[in-house]
Amino acid sequence: MKNTFLQPKTALITGAAKGIGRAAVLRLAEDGFNVVINYRSSAKEATGLSRLLARRGKEHLLFRADITDMEEVKKMIKRISERFGSLDVLVNNAALNYTQSLSELTVRNYDRILDTNLRSAALLTKSSLPLLKKSSAPRIIFITSETAFRGSGHRVAYVVSKSGLVGLTRALALELASKNILVNAVVPDCIKSDMFLKFSVEPIKNRLRNVPLGRLGKPEEVAAVIAFLASDDSSFITGQCIHVNGGTFFA
């Protein structure tokens, strides 16, 4: 869905070097957005993505920042302001995951997952608000997980963090509605990404038996929903969780 902006709009995508984040960058760039590629450790992949956008003539900013470090977040927001003047779409995608039972889970790992997946998403959103308020059509999009709705054994910290994003989506949608800032969540499951393939508790074949559409989803299919929520077509949608899962939530 092409957007016809009088002025180019800007989207910040966290954890953008790979998987769903990378697909979102490419889709939003094609839809006419200036895109900010945030990454922490995947420098090779992020640099490759930047080069790809440059070859396609897409305006973008590559910025390394650990989103759990508020000083680095402030520097990133300042750079976005200097480069683009405002921020129209914030896609909170960055996430960590560990497969550990509660008895195995360390306090350090629990804190790291909640810091990355939940706390940093809330604080980055707070830091982004002054720029978002300058936009004529601001959007905040959280990438959560089907595990927030159905649970998942041996991933308690991940489930807690993603469940928190659902609550954050609903709370901020109400709080920010008067500012015309739309807040929604995308809920992927069974998407062919590094995280799913690495951390799926059940073998992939067993998971596919429970997917009514009978296949894994593509990151590009999640990116299409992100693009819809970032577009003018979503102007009366806020506080919603859109499931992208091949029907698994209803199986």
Q: Residue 135 burial (CB < 10 Å; 0-12/13-18/19+)?
A: middle
pLDDT tens track for 179-192: 999 999 999 998 98
DSSP letter for each residue of 203-218: -HHHHHHT-TT-S-B-
Q: Which fold has domain 10-250?
A: Rossmann fold (3.40.50)
> What residues act catalytically?
158
- What's the whole-model pTM score? 0.93
pLDDT for 250: 62
pLDDT for 7: 76
3-state secondary structure (DSSP) of residue 61: strand
pLDDT for 157: 92
3-state secondary structure (DSSP) of residue 100: strand
pLDDT for 207: 77
What is the C-alpha to C-alpha distance for residues 68 and 71, in angstroms, rounded to an integer? 9
Enter the DSSP assignment of 217.
B
Q: Band of the pLDDT at 235, cuts 50, 70, 90?
A: very high
Q: Mean per-residue pLDDT for 33-55?
A: 96
pLDDT tens track for 121-142: 999 999 999 999 999 999 999 9
Q: Mean per-residue pLDDT for 205-213?
A: 83
Residues, the chain: 251
- pLDDT reading at 199 higher than 60: no
